[in-house]
Structure 1
Amino acid sequence: MGLNSVTQAVLFTSLVTAITVFSSYLYQKWKQVKIPSNWERIGSVKKLHLYPLKSGHRVELQRAEVTKVGLRQTKEDVKFFQLRDRVLIVYGTKDHEFRTARTYPKMVLIDVSVHDEDHFAIDAPTMRTLYVKIPNRKDNTVTKVKCWYNEYIEAIDCGDEAADWFSKYTNERDFSLRLGYNDGNQQRDITKSHYKLLNYYKNLSNKSTGLFADLASVTLINQHSVHDLNKRIGNNSNVTVENFRHNIIIDGLDLQPYDEDNWDWIKVGDNVIMRNVKDCTRCLLTTISSENGIRDINRQPLKTLETYRKHSGPENGPILGTYLEVAKTGLINVGDHVYIARK
């Protein structure tokens, strides 16, 4: 007995669906990037920095856990709660747009630490210590904060007391600033907000992103690049790597200034592997001292960078340092060897 037309149609549709699914699987497998296996040592980790508050002061680490969304304190250092990089953000009450030290330079002096398993401790000059209960989605308001390139990122609001503290510290009134927390339970989607960058930087993707970091989860800079920049500025310039707010600072006798521009795959220690996905475009934040919150009246080092490090990409700004996507997570330490993939 032959199959009727309805049965034939069902079988044909099922066959097409199966072929489509299998073809998609094969394409995804083909598209997967192969991590290199041959490495060349080029230096070592000089410093590790964590920035719990976007635009806030750094936490200097001797070791860190590298996660898919950025650096985190280790359980050996802080047992009950570990701070993550750029886990907190300041935003406007009315417009829900993020605020940084570009507008409020004193933000670079705000320190964040872990008080206990339930609270952050936040400190700044002339201010009382603020204890913020770590918020959750059940008991606190969840909002979307307008960030870099008009990307909207979810934030859990930290309450009125935190809003009052940040508003007073920045001399804003009427609870005009609020504090948001990222619990890491979301996947950022940059396909619409950053489509020009995605078209230009072929290794950049949603998987590159961190919590409230502008774009990628980890940033790296070469100490020799900063030395060269100081020579170009002249007048005994003492711009430091801290002006650029990177997570990983590397050094090495054989390193040349701006070598990091040309690195593709990077390995730190025995296990952690990352990929260079984008140049780090610099802004006015680099002109603000992380030690006193004062903006350089001569716009240095940005003014000098603009004379010889102007990028031809879609942002058309000066660059220094790199954005990295984490391919393989793990622990890293100050002093660990740094490798690049051997060509």
Structure 2
Amino acid sequence: MLRLSALYRYPLKSGKPEILQSIGLDKLGLAGDRRWMLVDEASGRFLTQRAEAKMSLLSALWNAQGGLTLSAPGLAALDVPLPEADSDLRGVTIWRDTLRVPDAGDAAARWVSDFIGKPTRLVQVPLDRARMTQAGYGREDDQVAFADGFPLLLIGEASLEDLVQKVGRPLEMLRFRPNLVIEGSAAFAEDGWKRIRIGDVEFRVVKPCSRCILTTIDPQTGERSADREPLATLQKYRAQADGAMFGQNLVNDSNGQLEVGMPVEILE
């Protein structure tokens, strides 16, 4: 039987994950997932581990007031309140998208600038300021927060096991930053799924996930692997026209609740 074996949320894009037992969904995927982002102060361009590998050490967790609690080695923790949806808007760029979103304020900016080592701002995206998903996939009204292209990423445990065997050393699932992990399927079975149901929630499988240099960063230390693994191996046996594929991007069609251990049903 297929079941949901792990749930991960990333409140800050490219920050450390939250390991969850249950979570609700909204129209942008897991509630609170990648709703915050760091941007270069001058250009508004988004920052990720691709250029700032140390972000793997940056913890950004939801706090009881609805904001974010930032912590990192060598810095005192900082509680950041949720900014008002229509005040202090800042123009930002993520990939080809430009949008205006609330800035988290100067105290947060000083903290993240100290961590990154250059002038940086922290921004947040409300539901009504979300982007559209990558053109050409899914439906015209599908939306996403600050995730690269789609609200959710799913990976099968057997797919990682297959990759581990080929690379020849252990690899953490969190190198690949999934939201949903499935056990009980064959390696890369998710490549053939079109629609699935977990609990009362149906998901559309819209596009394979093209992997990048971020997969070579150790999520515990922030260090890059000198041999470019596991990306080098993925490029040998999982290459397509758009890159080396690992995992599937999903869009949820309702806003139910997920819990680790729930059965997974393949609808199509």
For the superposition of Structure 1 and Structure 2, which TM-score range results when normalised by the shorter chain? Answer: over 0.9
Change (3 A) 1:317 1:338: same
* Cα distance between partner residues in 2 of 1:238 and 1:58: 19
> How much does 1:187 deviate?
4.4
Structure 1: distance between partners of 2:266 and 2:5: 16
- Of 146, 158, 164 in structure 2, the residue corresponding to residue 230 of structure 1 is 164
- 1:119 CA drift (Å): 3.8
| Cα displacement string for residues 253-272 of structure 1 (whole angstroms, at most 9, x for unaligned residues) | xx211110110001012x01
Q: Indicate the residue corresponding to 1:146 in structure 2.
A: 93
- Measured after TM superposition, the shift of residue 240 of structure 1 is 1.7
1:208, 1:324 within 8 Å by CA — same for their partners in 2? Answer: no
Stretch moving more, 105-114 or 333-342: 105-114
Instruction: Specify every segment of 5 or more residues in structure 2 that has no aligned partner in the other structure, as ranges.
Output: none
CA distance in 1, matches of 2:41, 2:216: 27
Specify the alignment match of 2:257 in structure 1: 331
Cα offset for 1:132?
1.0
Q: CA deviation at 1:67?
A: 1.8
Q: Distance in 1 between matches of 2:167 and 2:104?
A: 42
Find out whether 1:303 has 2:236 as its counterpart: no
Q: Tell me whether 205-214 or 47-56 shows the greater mean CA deviation.
A: 205-214
8 Å CA contact 1:273–1:329 kept in 2: the answer is no
Whether 2:209 is the aligned partner of 1:280: answer: yes
Change (3 A) 1:142 1:330: same
Measured after TM superposition, the shift of residue 133 of structure 1 is 1.7
Find the partner of 2:246 among 320, 324, 330: 320
Give the match for residue 110 of structure 2: 164
SS in 2 for 1:162: helix
1:333 partner letter: E
Instruction: Quote the offset at 1:305 in angstroms.
Output: 0.2
Instruction: Tell me how far 1:137 sits from its aligned partner.
Output: 3.3
Question: Residue 114 of structure 1: CA displacement?
Answer: 3.4
Give, in angstroms, the shift of residue 54 of structure 1: 0.1
2:123 counterpart SS class:
strand
Q: What is the CA-CA distance between 1:211 and the residue it aligns to?
A: 0.9
1:246 aligns with 2:178: yes
Report which of the two has the higher share of helix.
Answer: 1
Q: Deviations over 1:20-67 (max 9, x none)?
A: xxxxxxxxxxxxxxxxxxxxxx51011000000000000010001122
Within 2, Cα distance between the matches of 1:157 and 1:220? 30
Confirm or deny that 1:261 pairs with 2:191.
yes
Aligned to 1:181, which of 121, 124, 128?
124
Tell which structure's C-alpha radius of gyration is larger.
Answer: 1
Q: Which has the higher strand share?
A: 2
* Equivalent residues of 1:208, 1:215 under 8 A apart: no
CA distance in 1, matches of 2:253, 2:132: 18
Q: Amino acid of the residue matched to residue 245 of structure 1?
A: R
- The 8 Å contact of residues 221 and 320 in structure 1, kept in 2 or not, is answered as yes
Which position in structure 2 is the counterpart of 1:38?
none
Percent identity, aligned pairs only, is 32
TM-score, scaled to structure 2:
0.95
